[in-house]
Structure 1
């Protein structure tokens, strides 16, 4: 798991699904692994797969944070995907 923020790239806070990224809500995923719209629980917090990115491949998840200063490098976490 890594973090990304507004201004890191040319897209700002606009996600691949066309919504604005939100703190404690938006994550970027590899949509071949985790489909867009999936609800993912990480450390008790529910996030929604709304974005993708060039470095987000396979089992990498990128969490939207408020600012670059909230970045945390790389963390290894168990995640849970909500099933219908």
Structure 2
């Protein structure tokens, strides 16, 4: 899909806690926030060999930006720019 700006987010960063915009609880090594106009909810996205599911969005998540759910702010990794891939069904 191209190169995306990858950042992290965590519980209590905002008023929603671990509840996503799709109504499921965010999960470590699973949940990402995306711009649903670019990546549809439910899409499986590979970043650095790890598969994540697009389950959330956010005010700062626009265009080619992805937020990866982490357990705690100490697990944040700053900003990375990575090639991402969408998993296609056979």
Q: CA RMSD in A?
A: 0.5
User: In structure 1, what is the Cα distance between the partners aligned to 2:75 and 2:12?
Assistant: 13
Which sections of structure 1, spanning at least 5 residues, go unmatched? none
Output the TM-score relative to the length of structure 2: 0.92
The alignment status of 1:15 with 2:29, answered yes or no, reads: no
Pick the structure with more strand per residue: 2
Cα deviations by residue, 1:22-65 (Å, 9 ceiling, x for unpaired)? 00000000000000000000111000000000000000000000
Q: SS at the partner of 1:34?
A: coil
Tell me which stretches of 4 or more aligned residues in structure 1 moved more than 2 Å.
none
In structure 2, stretches of 5+ residues that fail to align are 1-5
Q: What TM-score, normalized to structure 1?
A: 0.98
Q: Which residue of 2 aligns with 1:46?
A: 51
Aligned length, in residue pairs = 84
